[in-house]
Amino acid sequence: MKNLASMMKQAQAMQEKMQEMQAALESHEISGSAGGGMVAVTLNGKGEMRRIKLDPSLIDPAEPEMLEDLIVAAHNDAKAKVEAHMQDEMSKLTGGLKLPPGMKLPF
List, in order of start, the domains of the chain with CATH numbers: 26-94 (3.30.1310.10)
> How confident is the prediction along the chain (107 residues), in pLDDT tens digits per residue?
577 777 778 778 778 887 887 788 888 899 999 999 999 999 998 889 999 999 999 999 999 999 999 999 999 999 999 999 888 887 877 765 555 566 555 54
Query: Sign of the CA dihedral 86, 87, 91, 94?
Result: positive
The three-class DSSP label of residue 62 is: coil
